[in-house]
Amino acid sequence: MNNWVLDKNALPLLMVIAHLVNYELDHWDHDALEHGLEATDAEAEQWLHYPIGRAPTVDVRLARDPGTAVIHVSIDAPAELRDRIALAIQIGQQFELTPRS
């Protein structure tokens, strides 16, 4: 599944995916994702690979789209999760999401 979300919504999207596989992203994950995304570039094929969860695992690849507010996402997920992830992506394209503190 290849798509995109607004850059502000990359972390909320990954939080939703983690919830779907009963995995909790901690502050180490947040830091790794924020710093890892800085070095990405979709045009240069420089992607961040971040597997989430264990049995099932969702393989997520992310890359910034230079000059835009978009993060490209490529997600390999079990069939039973794809519709829910697709909905989360659609929300991440249309709204600016912020996690509660």
* Mean pLDDT over each residue of the chain, to the nearest integer: 95
- Residues 1-57 have pLDDT tens digits of 999 999 999 999 999 999 999 999 999 999 999 999 999 999 999 999 999 998 899
**Domains in the chain: how many in total?**
1
Q: Is residue 67 part of a domain?
A: yes
Mean pLDDT of 60-75: 97
- Nearest alpha-carbon partner for 36 in 19, 50, 23, 17: 50
- Within a domain: 62: yes
Q: Which range marks the domain in which residue 19 is found?
A: 2-94
pTM for the model stands at: 0.92
Of 3-12, 51-60, 64-73, 91-100, the least confident: 91-100
Please indicate whether residue 99 or residue 54 has the higher confidence score (pLDDT): 54
Sheet bearing 2-6, strands edge to edge: 2-6, 70-76, 58-64, 48-52
